[in-house]
Structure 1
């Protein structure tokens, strides 16, 4: 094949690489002079075989992603797990979306162009094999949505939430300090990240600058802003989400933001409780150690401590503990830890968790209103009963959280009074009279010191946080039936006449806390927590009245003041964790995330994960590309001929809606029929809306050539109509042998790159030659990477070098005339 004697294009620079790299067809940044390169999988494997990093950690399973300026300097480099199967730049060039594949999962990670940090990572399910050969790329493209975001309507849930005070965000908990005596290094605080439980929840891509509703397409499947999965029922080439779908995506994104605050708040609340509980455990174990030294059981020493509270008399173990073990410094530290712990829990609930749940209810009420509107009924799949069930779940969770706040408030007050009692010394002149509240001291002995009520909320489990969910039969938020006004007024008068009333379901600590602000005496408030409304009997006025029959029987024999003591002095084994799922906030939030995620996915029509199972679109040869121009879809492929080793170029054009299809085929051999086996295409890619770029190889060397659409259209003919349009595979199968003469490719511009380089095929890292193009005006660049992957040639495809030479000559002649 004879190439035109031209010197098109202009060389800009050459990037020398230290090791073998891969150039993806979409590596060029569309708005900046940047190109992204990937380390070769074989190179990474060799590094892992011959080198170790750190304490025996192999780096062979990682891929290096590096960003380079076209001038030759590196911007950043990051290391990621898995093999890169595809990548695409956003329209503004600020986000790099990469599809990673590992044996366990496949994820889409969106990286910042400035630092290479991962902005958001979402797991997906693609039916791909785990092959990392060059040229086997999944089709990934960003496209601009035809419609922008709709303005937030006055009175909508989003408008109301924006007018309310901002919910206090909660940072991820800091990792524990493994070396407490080592000087802490000053590190910048970690950036807020999304909780792992929300990894699959539909959301928009976070950004400080409002993003346009651009769409990332992966093998025919669409993601709004690259993260929110869209239904696949829309025609190919149409990127027009409905108004209801855009509104639902914003609602879902706000839900993710609020749920992340709830999850981070629960994490920090549990850590705060563990910190206070740890100090309490240390002091309790000191008391139990003193009991063992005196051959007393744990139950006996606890009873002896209560006897000391009531009578001022105790055994040797309690005297040893309070006299020698509990110093003033220990009591102060204990007091500060408990005060900080329970105060932190209250602040998290008041400032973050409860406001976030209130705003989620507003969003769900908005969606329930949509379910009754014909406009949204035609655009979304909403079920009012499911929405109501989700609202009840949020309200029930809010009730549990508020109960936790009251428990924390009561235990903080009880702990403070207990510390006052520990510091009280009748023989001292500093504190001659007691100032502690006897009821609260008793409450802390029974709850905070021995078994805190928060153990039901945050039990000690092997796997934390738990993954359990509430049973489907559990009534999350019981609703009372609607009654007449006169019945309500009558009941109100009766309640006001009865005074204080016990609420079913409150814990003893909560009831004791509510009684603090009442006019009831201490003894009556203790007894009221144990009354039975149905029996109407007088409650036990002693502190043991809160115990069950079994516990009361055991408590009677455990006291040292009783005659019979059935306890032995053997050590008590580890207590089995008894879980009450309805009182665990993690179980509630797991159920809430599951139901809300299912609600959003069902509304937009994406069910069962992300709807990508069995997706194809993998380019087996690397000699295939696709582009949409003015609604028309163009596809080009270079296919090998049977037996003779030559190639043919196939071009397919489908009109908008695929109502009209046209094809053309071209040969890489001379028009006189003489075969030139050495002429072959190494890479092909659409450059812009006017040209196609090919990297060719002949016996003389390698060439970079372009083909113009206008020259190709003349050879195209229309195909018969077919339902769903034609695909290239169908075209090649039907019309492979239907042409008597095949025209030669019409080359528009050409540039000789040099002789064919020779590489040792036995070495690892030798693959295919690759090209990456950027056809935008002002950034019309082309990058070429040869088989060894160690050098990238950067070319300016907008300016031809021979035209510059002609222009310089004309300028010199004109200068001579003027002189």
Structure 2
């Protein structure tokens, strides 16, 4: 092949690297002069060969992380981060602010979106893709990649309509964000720790949401094309779709799902903080109770007798009082300002989904499932409100308890000869309530039981879910219930209540009503039908006080720990798990009904690349055993129309290829004399030379069967538009020959495999290209817009003009 003698493109910089790296075809940032380079995992020979890798302490041959480095094309490194696993593909968002990485960590795969500013993870999306050992080895060596491509959706977000749930929520006060729990003891002299970036709650890892950015991301679509199998499309790179072109209804549903995910995150974070506050407050109570019980055991007293002699507690209680007050006030504030408002807004969103489910065009939304999700959310609101009331009651009871302790301490230590006596300012009912409930067994132990796995992953069984919430109020029944409560008589609310001990049964009914708020009850409202408790459960709860009263002997330490009695309907984590699953199923059902999954046709061998525009898809393919270039043009019509052409490479071999823009295809060729050239082909001018293919002939073999379809066609000469000879890299070749030693040329045992790759950016204003050759230690950056020949001609013309001016001045 005769290559042109021109020198196209203009060299900008040369990135000198100390260790071998990998260059992905999508490494160039589309809007900034930045390029991403990958350093293989520590277990690969290249990473272990680096001097700094030997002293890293990670162990020889141990595969750990892949280092992702962002370089400025001027030659400076912006940042570097370690990613746990193998990078199988990457792609930049259209605005260049997010770097998407396909990461393989063991048998798991995920899609990480990282910020261009610091490399921190913005969002991570778990995937279900499975890759074999050969594919993983190809990713580590950089021989093959999965393609990640961001495209325009064709639609834009619509503003919320008047009366919609999103507009109503935006008009309401914002839900108070939940701050992460702080440690109980802060060292004022300790070095301040930077807050960790908080992403979505782990329970929402698979919940369909949009990309988390400071501003609303554009509705772009990320297409993930694996080496084999079906391609995946994700709206904003996070929300999985089943169609390459989502409808307007799907975009609206995606906005509702994203808003719902943020509210669910507030609910889950609020439950975490509430449980942490409860555990922290219970620590001090447990310390004091165990101290008293130990003293009683040493004196031969039972636990109930010790609890009855609590007035002998003659020690300071300031820390205990402060921890209890802070814990219950925190729980009440979280429920009132974060959890309950978030749940109320979720109900508004579900109500809108109910209206959309009744529309004929939203066939994926199940009206029955939406109603059930609304009932779950309403039931959760009832439970959260009961927790808020219990927290308020425990705050008052614990405060009066502390007042009583202070009074008893002052009374015992009072001088008998003094005339004045300490004044009793405590409320006896609240003191008794905390003594019999909060001190021994708090009602929040029913909400947050001591389980081996916290938070629990359980869900409400189907027969325990609310069947229907009655929105109609029966005035007669409401008045009768109010009259019964005013008369302080025990009414049966249709829910399970713990049986009282014989001592409490003989107590005054007025005191019993004060204790009701501290007794565990699943829900205070009878408008929700809850699965009734088994008869054995009532007996167990009723006998718990008797068991506690007879367990004050020293032999109790050797006894087996008692089994935790759980009331699933009273645990907020169980309701939260059920609500998350119900909402996720609704959204995925509504989105999944829109279209079919796009199929993927990739070639297993050879060089391949493709490019999409609004009406056509171009594909370039060079088989491994042929020196021919095949171009395929597929028009996106029904049925699809395919046409192809075969171009002759003569005696040159193709080392890399990539589409530059809608006009040019870039090839890296090596001639028979081992000279390398970077050239472009104007493939848009080959429309008239394309050969139509019969419908269905390409479906069987894909691009791999294209050479057989064009076997009888005469190949055309390669139409070269621009060309530049690439000078060899002496440092890389010298290092290769030195390591090869007496074994012979490159490819022999002891020699490193040469890494050849190109990465291009064809966007207007940022038309650059990066070429990697050698062993991955040198990357040449080229300006693909300006040709060096034209620049030299302009400079020579300017110099000639300056010389002419000087001669004219001398003549004068």
Residue of structure 2 in register with 1:584 after alignment: 571
1:758-773 equivalences under 5 Å are: 758=733, 759=736, 760=740, 761=747, 762=749, 766-773=753-760
Give the deviation of 1:496 after TM superposition.
5.5
Residue of structure 1 in register with 2:219 after alignment: 213
Going from structure 1 to structure 2, the CA distance change for 1:615 and 1:338 (only over 3 Å counts) comes to farther
Give the deviation of 1:506 after TM superposition.
7.3
**1:224 pairs with 2:235:** yes
Give the deviation of 1:222 after TM superposition.
1.0
1:364-403 equivalences under 5 Å are: 364-373=350-359, 377-403=360-386
**1:93 pairs with 2:93:** no
* Equivalent residue for 1:458, pick from 436, 445, 448: 448
**1:637 pairs with 2:621:** yes
Residue of structure 1 in register with 2:425 after alignment: 435
Residue of structure 2 in register with 1:504 after alignment: 493
Q: Deviations over 1:467-519 (max 9, x none)?
A: 11111110336534968xxxx444455456553464626798999xxxxxxx9
Residue of structure 2 in register with 1:789 after alignment: 776
Residue of structure 2 in register with 1:684 after alignment: 657
- Equivalent pair of 2:438/2:518 in contact (CA under 8 Å): no
CA distance in 2, matches of 1:611, 1:186: 52
**1:300 pairs with 2:305:** yes
**1:668 pairs with 2:649:** yes
TM-score (structure 1 length as normaliser): 0.84
Residue of structure 2 in register with 1:313 after alignment: none
SS in 2 for 1:21: coil
1:712-791 equivalences under 5 Å are: 712-722=686-696, 728-729=702-703, 731-732=705-706, 734-739=708-713, 741-755=714-728, 758=733, 759=736, 760=740, 761=747, 762=749, 766-791=753-778
Give the deviation of 1:734 after TM superposition.
3.4
* Equivalent residue for 1:656, pick from 621, 628, 636: 636
- Equivalent pair of 2:48/2:61 in contact (CA under 8 Å): no
- Equivalent pair of 1:635/1:728 in contact (CA under 8 Å): no
- Equivalent pair of 1:86/1:138 in contact (CA under 8 Å): yes
CA distance in 2, matches of 1:81, 1:433: 65
SS in 1 for 2:623: strand
Residue of structure 2 in register with 1:139 after alignment: 147
CA distance in 2, matches of 1:259, 1:284: 37
Residue of structure 2 in register with 1:191 after alignment: 197
* Equivalent residue for 1:276, pick from 259, 276, 281: 281
Going from structure 1 to structure 2, the CA distance change for 1:586 and 1:153 (only over 3 Å counts) comes to same
Q: How many residues align?
A: 740
Q: Deviations over 1:284-317 (max 9, x none)?
A: 1110111121022324323444xx6xxxxxxxxx
SS in 1 for 2:556: coil
CA distance in 2, matches of 1:465, 1:489: 40
Give the deviation of 1:743 after TM superposition.
2.5
**1:702 pairs with 2:676:** yes
- Equivalent pair of 1:136/1:619 in contact (CA under 8 Å): no
Range 761-770 or range 110-119, more displaced? 761-770
CA distance in 2, matches of 1:720, 1:769: 36
Give the deviation of 1:662 after TM superposition.
1.3
- Equivalent pair of 2:19/2:47 in contact (CA under 8 Å): no
* Equivalent residue for 1:599, pick from 586, 607, 620: 586
**1:570 pairs with 2:551:** no
SS in 2 for 1:737: coil
SS in 1 for 2:666: strand
TM-score (structure 2 length as normaliser): 0.84
Q: Deviations over 1:773-819 (max 9, x none)?
A: 01111111010011300011000111111112223344455566774
Give the deviation of 1:110 after TM superposition.
0.5
CA distance in 2, matches of 1:380, 1:185: 57
- Equivalent pair of 2:111/2:124 in contact (CA under 8 Å): yes
Larger relative contact order (CA 8 Å, sep ≥ 6): 1
SS in 2 for 1:417: helix
- Equivalent pair of 1:137/1:618 in contact (CA under 8 Å): no
Q: What runs of 5+ residues in structure 1 fail to find an aligned partner?
A: 233-238, 309-318, 512-518, 531-545, 559-565, 670-675
- Equivalent pair of 1:127/1:615 in contact (CA under 8 Å): no
Residue of structure 2 in register with 1:627 after alignment: 611
Residue of structure 1 in register with 2:330 after alignment: 344
- Equivalent pair of 1:426/1:432 in contact (CA under 8 Å): yes
CA distance in 1, matches of 2:774, 2:599: 29
Going from structure 1 to structure 2, the CA distance change for 1:195 and 1:174 (only over 3 Å counts) comes to farther
Going from structure 1 to structure 2, the CA distance change for 1:496 and 1:277 (only over 3 Å counts) comes to closer
1:283-322 equivalences under 5 Å are: 283-305=288-310, 319=312, 322=313
CA distance in 2, matches of 1:742, 1:493: 92
- Equivalent pair of 1:380/1:605 in contact (CA under 8 Å): no
Going from structure 1 to structure 2, the CA distance change for 1:793 and 1:755 (only over 3 Å counts) comes to closer
